[in-house]
Copies of this chain bind each other. A is one copy, B any other.
Amino acid sequence: MQVDGQAYRTIWLDPDSGHTVRVIDQTRLPHQFVIKDLRCLDDVRLAICDMTVRGAGLIGACAAWGMYLAALEAPDGSFESFMAQAGRTLTATRPTASNLAWAVQRMHDALSAGGSPPEQRRIAKDAAQAIADEDCAHCERIGQHGLALIAEMARRKPGQVVNILTHCNAGWLAFVDIGSATAPMYAAHAAGIPVHVWVDETRPRNQGASLTAWELGQQGVPHTLIADNVGGHLMQHGLVDLVITGADRVTRCGDVANKIGTYLKALAARDNGVPMVVALPSSTFDFSIRDGLTGIPIEERNPDELRWVSGVCADARPESVRICPADTSARNWGFDVTPARLVTHLICERGICDASESGILTLFPEHA
């Protein structure tokens, strides 16, 4: 997507060196646009842990590139065991996201054909690039399927703006490009359908305020920042036509793990007859789990992410402020699970389906 008029992906292999992975440092947005170099497996591990990169598709792609960097580091004599350990290291960085384990497994699968270490390194590079390219292609198709939904909404209220609420950032910053939840918004905006996006700030890390607002602004999509508490009030007053979020893991029965607070928005959507749509590439499905509430591990993060808020002062200096008493303890779960019964549709690259096992299997019969 565009940043100050120039096209970027969130991650790419530096073509000159061939062994440096470059990413947009998302901890610095929206106040600074900084490209960060990742040169080894440990750089990648850290970048995922400290959320330099985050988001379902992007951490998958980043893990894939991490496996490539690991292949460059792996000693010829113990290539296989080094790569197995690298896969375990990357998978352990974040517990909830599906794409991480999916990408690592796909890299292992690519390497399983064997070959000399130099051949394996070439295979790893091609496989990581393929994962990144496929992520873009899938997001683009999600956008086209979602566009049909939004166009239908627009037909029902001719001449009026279609109001979409989103939670967290499932934008191009959460993928390699385009995004999942944002893909239909970008497609509708490009198609000339008047859309307006309510952007949940998404406490405690404020990915809505710092990332979604920034990327929608860069693409010129009309949007308004709101507190996470506001969505229910908006829906009660007819100010939301559609909720679209991304997902970090979706079970074979359609339960959706996504950023903490998504469940509350899904409840409000149901209570007010607003469609609740979840957009995800197939790599985010976990076909091994049925019940999301008992089956999906929920990451708990450092409570200081809640107790301290980062931003810039009036003089543009980066600063963090504590918002509670110094001795107040806090807990900080990163995700919640929205039961399938509250989800109106899933949009993935293969099309739109019900959030149910039968619905999902119509698009993914190979998992029956």
Contacts and interface: CB of A to CB of B under 8 A. Distances in A.
A181 B255 CA distance: 34
Contact of A225 (B237, B312, B314, B330): B330
Interface string A307-328: 1111111100001111111011
Given A236-B336, A263-B236, A324 B268 contact: no
Interface in A223-277: 223-233, 236-237, 259-261, 263-265, 267-268, 271
| Integer count of this chain's copies in the complex | 2
A206 interface: yes
Interface in A284-339: 293, 298, 303, 306-314, 319-325, 327-333, 335-337
Contacts of A201: 203, 306, 323-324
Question: Interface extent on A, as a size class?
Answer: 35 or more
A217 interface: yes
Contact of A268 (B209, B214, B267, B298): B267
Interface in A164-219: 201-204, 206, 209-210, 213-214, 217
Given A264-B231, A267-B267, A226 B330 contact: yes
A337 B233 CA distance: 7
A359 interface: no
Contacts of A210: 323-324
Contacts of A264: 229, 231-232, 264-265, 267-268
B236 A261 contact: no
Interface string A15-29: 000000000000000
A64 to B, nearest CB: 30
Given A209-B328, A225-B330, A263-B236, A311 B306 contact: no
A30 interface: yes
Contacts of A236: 263, 293, 336-337
Contacts of A225: 303, 306-307, 324, 328-331
Contact of A227 (B231, B261, B308, B310): B261
A272 B303 CA distance: 25
Contact of A229 (B203, B268, B308, B309): B203
A2 to B, nearest CB: 15
B310 A321 contact: yes
Nearest to A324: B209
Contact of A260 (B206, B233, B328): B233
Contacts of A204: 227
A325 B214 contact: yes
A229 B323 contact: no
Interface of A: 30, 201-204, 206, 209-210, 213-214, 217, 223-233, 236-237, 259-261, 263-265, 267-268, 271, 293, 298, 303, 306-314, 319-325, 327-333, 335-337
12 contacts: A30-B324, A30-B328, A214-B325, A217-B325, A223-B328, A225-B306, A228-B229, A233-B333, A237-B293, A263-B268, A267-B268, A311-B322
- CB-based closest 6 A-B pairs: A229-B261, A311-B321, A233-B336, A225-B330, A267-B267, A209-B324
Given A225-B303, A226-B330, A232-B263, 4 more contacts: A201-B306, A203-B229, A226-B306, A230-B261
